Structure 1
């Protein structure tokens, strides 16, 4: 009688999708699907923004918001895949909603609470704050939380969350 050290039957576990390799493929498929979903949502948002700019080319605030969201998507595509990521469904839903929530904003022109001459420069500065924060992170930028270490250089020397601060300030200026 032969006693096997693993639970696998003889000959099992030798295939392409066995053991650690199967989990890597699953992680790559999940990551690829997430990035494809990001592409689809961002493409729809940019299409809506460009449509509004064609109707009214003077809407600088729509252009700045579209640039901000497009850069977020580009950074997401260029980001390196983390070794460990939090795929908890609650975390994924919150992160995706917060990230792509700007795509749900109506881009139709409404009544301006703040004149565009004031809002657009502040929105432009907030865009640069977000860009500086992303440059400071390098390829460690991502939508879902993961442990990439603490960054204390660049924009993170002055503000703990410069990307979020830039988004918040820019989106508020757009809405106002």
Structure 2
């Protein structure tokens, strides 16, 4: 099989597997939501996951991606963490309405950031061109900020040892993923210039 054809087969197969996993998770979350329709945060978390992973199914294939083993592990773990989430109700640290407000705010910010990025979105680190418009004027990784806000909304209304463990592991991976992405993109002089203009990675004034 020619290399280009082999790469295309692998790409299509990977996207089909992603779509299957996403469908199974969405169905499971929907079933739990039907049992307790007042759990708005569960519905929002499902929506956020569909937006996040679903968009990767239609992203353009970049000319160069970071296939180093550690980058792959961090990217896959940081993207498919939802498979480990406990969907049944947990302890409510904050009211459901407060969690839902965080969820909506996080999803809207994610959509703004992804609209700013357009089709330059994917799971593995890749150079799809430097983007400095829209949400990327404020922080270098605005999508991660949206994830954080949405995830806090769900976790604080569905707290349990399993979800705490999953989200703790997730953000350890996400932090490593950010550093790996910046190391990879830092080879591009245009990205280094962008990094010098936009000081913070995810949270303005903090990180």
Count of aligned residue pairs for this structure pair: 156
SS of corresponding position for 1:81: coil
Aligned to 1:114: 94
Aligned to 2:140: 160
Find the structure with the greater CA-based Rg: 1
1:104 is the counterpart of 2:84: yes
Q: Distance in 2 between matches of 1:68 and 1:23?
A: 35
Which deviations, in whole Å up to 9, do the C-alpha atoms of 1:126-150 show, x marking residues without a partner?
A: 0111111111111110001111122
**Which ranges of 4 or more aligned residues in structure 1 deviate by more than 3 Å?**
none
For structure 2, the residue ranges without an aligned partner over 5 or more in a row are 157-207
Q: Distance in 2 between matches of 1:45 and 1:92?
A: 21
Q: Distance in 2 between matches of 1:25 and 1:123?
A: 41
Name which of 57, 77, 81 aligns with 2:61: 81
CA shift, 1:33, in A, is: 2.1
Q: Distance in 1 between matches of 2:138 and 2:69?
A: 32
CA shift, 1:70, in A, is: 0.8
* 8 Å Cα contact 2:101-2:153 kept in structure 1: no
What TM-score do you get using the length of structure 1 for normalisation? 0.84
Name which of 116, 123, 133 aligns with 1:143: 123
SS of corresponding position for 1:112: coil
CA shift, 1:48, in A, is: 1.2
Name which of 67, 77, 90 aligns with 2:70: 90
CA shift, 1:158, in A, is: 1.6
1:25 is the counterpart of 2:2: no
* 8 Å Cα contact 1:133-1:154 kept in structure 2: yes
